[in-house]
Amino acid sequence: MDELLADFIAETREMLEQSGTELVAWEADPSDKARIDTIFRFVHTVKGNCGFFDFPQLERLSHAAEDALAECRAGRREPDSALVSAVLAIIDRIGAMTDAIEAGEELDGKDDDALIAALDASGPTEIQSEVTVQPEAVDEAGEDAPAKGQRQSMQRSIRLPVDLLDEVMKGVSDMVLARNDLARRLREAGEQPTIDGPFERLSAILADVRTSITRMRMQRLEHLFSSLPRLVRDLSNELGKQVMVDFEGGEVELDREMIEMVRDPLTHIIRNAIDHGIEKPVDRLKKGKREIGLMRFAARQSGNQISLLVTDDGNGIDVDRLSEKAVAAGIYSHSEIKQMSQAQKLQLIFEPGLSTAAEVSSISGRGVGMDVVRSNLERVGGAIAVSSKPGEGTSFHLQLPLTLSIIAALTVSSDGQHYALPRSYIEEIVFGSSSSVEFAEAGERRLVTFRGRRVPCISLADVLGTESNERCDWESKTLVLIRLASDDVFALAVDRVHDHEDVVVKPIAPAIMATRLYAGTTLLDDGSPMMLIDLPSIAQMRGLVGELRSKPAIIAETQDKEEKAATPVMLFAGLDGRKRAVRLELVRRIDTVYADAFDIEGDRAQAVIEGRIFPLAGIEHGALPADRCRLLRLSDGESEVVYAVSEVLDAAEMTEEIVPSANDRSIEGVTLIGGKPVPLIDGHTLFQRHGVPQRSDSPLVCRLPQNSEWARTILEPLVVAAGYRIAGDAEEEADLAIALAGDTADETPGARETVRLRPDPEDTGDGSIYRYDRDGLMAVLKRVRTGRAA
């Protein structure tokens, strides 16, 4: 009997919840006969069950509601808001009685008469129009029987305790770990055809079972959506507003525990939207809107994430008022608010104790809600973002993990123990020993600068109490950059990062949860336990959330830099290890070459890259490495030079003034970057000393003497090296023609300029050039080329 009673309670609750949803929808469209039939069937079933278990008070209430609905089905009564409210009140009363039955308490029926009387408050109304009532198919119990097509499409289902599903899931997870352990042993033992085949089949079957068990934990979002129309209706009636709801994506499935987790956040969002956002009908009409407000819920699945968008078409968020409240509450100062963008100001709604309500009401205004929403979502690995347009409405974008039981994680180790970090929080992984990472101290806080931004850094060992910050060797650690849903960023120092994997998360004892260090536990493939780190809670305990408030000096410093003109530069370490900078506009690309690509002899220094020879600079600072070397390929638009460096550090912005250097012409001067002096390479001097014009995509054309072996072997390589293309024949148009003095066969028209080469070194005064006067010939080639460029 106890099992039957438990089934009755569960089924009654489910039917009452569905009845409430259907009633609200029926109120919006009273002509929907199919919906009133569904509501009637629910109430009728509840009445029959109450009679079976001998609960006369519940049976009396459900019978009264059934009679009122029967009047509407027969067309003898016009449904209105009063009737719907009365039926909803009875549904609430039956729900409260069901809770009392489950708790073993006595039923109190003192208000039942008033609830039943409310059903007849308006009295029956005769409908003059002709109404045709179709005969209903009734089963032996008197309940409307579903149509034949409906009966065939109904899925077979049974009720199971949730705890039983959790135990089955635990068993399957343990089987997966045992399978992984067995797989390692088989790999170590080598190929065994008689075992490998059955083992693969077993693995495939186990994977299917695990998928099926996981799906048993899933529920369609329509289960969550079904309770929202009633909430919207009650709130809008209380506030004198009219609001309708629209749902999309109810077929999306979510972990049953996640659905319960997100129910309260959605309730907060709905209450705020109806109270603060959506206007009263008269105000909406004045603004040219429909008098009925709209709230829309849209769900999508993307990989292992659920995206839930909640929008309203109300007033939007008053950012200025929100900012004033933040200042009045002492959360931010006026100067800090002025630095914020509109998006940052919108984030103020998530600040604890902040509300824009003009007065405290039973709905909202106490400054409690949205901070709880964000905290609850972060705790389960989710995130929330807000956007708003004045006069048009507000949107909340919720990102939820598909399931609480299986999440993507990064496995790390600290002090010999393995831990899991939710991968949704991880932005980047860097080594503490990297030259692009700089550590600093601000009071008792450790800061790290990476990619031009300074963020707080904490050690996982210090958080867990295994090693203090004072004894931490920061340069030996691996830094995991964490970005919370609040957009706060901090670095978590760990001993080592191992791998990305999906882990099965299991709950832990409340006493361990109370430490706020762990969010759950999981198992490695070898069966050893591993704790899941609670990053949002740790950030709150360490004061890493809302860093803007705790670092006014850094804010002022950032503001000063933004007001100054910033010049982008590339930071690098020269061959001598010293940090230098070059204007980023000069850097065309970064290459890596081997030692055999260099040609250095006397004053000549060159490097070969992709079949091209470039002048080489930077070797005056030190010796080239024995194996590989990094090269900055620099260009002034006409010439290219490669600059040898030991390491490319990072891109940065130069905001401070340049102090000129009178003794060293190779640098423009010295400037401060990150508070440290850095020499800035002088591009003008660099290209004056080393610049060689780069090849053009459409080089100039040079015509050489025809049928001359000397021109082909001696002259042609020199001309090609200067950036010219050799004409294919004597008829092709050319920018420059080179002819041999006295050779009339080469005097062909069609060249912009002609230069003659004489065999005698003595100057004859005819403007010709000695054929082996390399400098004279190169000067002509350069003059023609630069003249074209001009």
What confidence tens digit (pLDDT) does each residue in 762-775 have?
Answer: 877 778 888 888 88
Tokens 């089963």, residue?
Answer: 139
Last-in-domain residue among 401, 416, 439: 401
Work out the pLDDT band at 126, boundaries 50, 70, 90: very low
pTM tops 0.75, yes or no: no
DSSP code at position 144: B
Q: Is the pLDDT of residue 587 over 70?
A: yes
6-20, 159-173, 375-389, 574-588 — which one is most confidently predicted on average?
Answer: 574-588
Q: Identify the domain containing residue 460 by its residue range.
A: 406-555
131-135, 230-234, 278-282, 776-780 — which one is most confidently predicted on average?
Answer: 278-282
Measured CA angle at 69 (ends 63, 72), to 5 deg: 150
Among 411-425, 553-567, 589-603, 680-694, the least confident range: 553-567
Percent pLDDT > 90 in the chain is 2
What confidence tens digit (pLDDT) does each residue in 493-503 have?
Answer: 899 888 776 67
Last-in-domain residue among 555, 580, 604: 555
Q: Are strands 734-740 and 700-703 parallel, antiparallel or unpaired?
A: parallel
**pLDDT at residue 766, as a whole number:** 78
Largest CA distance in the chain: 131
Q: Is the pLDDT of residue 360 over 50?
A: no
Listed in sequence order, the residues at least 6 apart from 605 whose beta carbon sits closer than 8 Å to its beta carbon are 598, 599, 615, 616, 617, 619
Q: How many residues make up the chain in this entry?
A: 790
**pLDDT at residue 158, as a whole number:** 67
Q: Are 281 and 291 in contact (CB under 8 A)?
A: yes
**Residue 36 sits in the same domain as residue 52:** yes
Listed in sequence order, the residues at least 6 apart from 271 whose beta carbon sits closer than 8 Å to its beta carbon are 235, 363, 364, 369
**Residue 613 sits in the same domain as residue 684:** yes
Evaluate whether residue 151 is within a structural domain.
Answer: no
Among 368-382, 421-435, 468-482, 650-664, the least confident range: 368-382
* Residue 44: Cβ-neighbour burial (10 angstroms; 0-12, 13-18, 19+): buried
**Residue 203 sits in the same domain as residue 296:** no
Evaluate whether residue 282 is within a structural domain.
Answer: yes
**Residue 396 sits in the same domain as residue 522:** no
Tell me how far the alpha carbon of residue 213 is from its chain's centroid: 29
**Residue 526 sits in the same domain as residue 663:** no
Q: How far is CA 553 from CA 524, 559, 670, 744, in A?
A: 45, 10, 25, 81
Evaluate whether residue 153 is within a structural domain.
Answer: no
Q: Is the pLDDT of residue 218 over 60?
A: yes
Residue 224 tokens read as 């969550």
Euclidean distance between CA atoms 287 and 391, whole angstroms:
9
Euclidean distance between CA atoms 9 and 3, whole angstroms:
10
Backbone angles phi, psi at 286, to 5 degrees: -65, -30
Q: Are 655 and 561 in contact (CB under 8 A)?
A: yes
Stretch 563-584: mean pLDDT, rounded? Answer: 81
Evaluate whether residue 441 is within a structural domain.
Answer: yes
Stretch 45-51: mean pLDDT, rounded? Answer: 70
Listed in sequence order, the residues at least 6 apart from 355 whose beta carbon sits closer than 8 Å to its beta carbon are 325, 364, 365, 366, 367, 369
Residue 659 tokens read as 């102090």
Residue 767 sits in a domain whose CATH number is 3.40.50
Euclidean distance between CA atoms 439 and 476, whole angstroms:
12
**Residue 678 sits in the same domain as residue 705:** no
**pLDDT at residue 643, as a whole number:** 92
What confidence tens digit (pLDDT) does each residue in 691-707 have?
Answer: 665 555 567 888 888 87
* Residue 258: Cβ-neighbour burial (10 angstroms; 0-12, 13-18, 19+): buried
Q: Which residues pair with 440 in a beta bridge?
A: 447
**Residue 743 sits in the same domain as residue 668:** no
Residue 358 sits in a domain whose CATH number is 3.30.565.10
Within a 13 Å sphere around the CA of 769, how many CA atoms are in the beta-carbon half?
17
What confidence tens digit (pLDDT) does each residue in 244-267 have?
Answer: 888 888 888 887 777 877 887 888
**Residue 590 sits in the same domain as residue 673:** yes
Evaluate whether residue 152 is within a structural domain.
Answer: no
**Residue 50 sits in the same domain as residue 83:** yes
Q: Are 134 and 126 in contact (CB under 8 A)?
A: no
**pLDDT at residue 553, as a whole number:** 32
Stretch 472-481: mean pLDDT, rounded? Answer: 85
Q: Are 87 and 68 in contact (CB under 8 A)?
A: yes
Which amino acid is residue 703, in one-letter code? Answer: R
Evaluate whether residue 155 is within a structural domain.
Answer: no
Last-in-domain residue among 401, 419, 451: 401
Listed in sequence order, the residues at least 6 apart from 786 whose beta carbon sits closer than 8 Å to its beta carbon are none
Closest CA to 384 of 397, 375, 369, 400: 397
Evaluate whether residue 111 is within a structural domain.
Answer: yes
**Residue 317 sits in the same domain as residue 273:** yes
Q: State the total domains in the chain.
A: 6
DSSP code at position 588: E
**Residue 577 sits in the same domain as residue 502:** no
Residue 123 sits in a domain whose CATH number is 1.20.120.160
Measured CA angle at 484 (ends 478, 490), to 5 deg: 40
Euclidean distance between CA atoms 657 and 565, whole angstroms:
10
**Residue 375 sits in the same domain as residue 497:** no
Stretch 356-382: mean pLDDT, rounded? Answer: 61
Q: Are strands 489-494 and 453-459 parallel, antiparallel or unpaired?
A: parallel
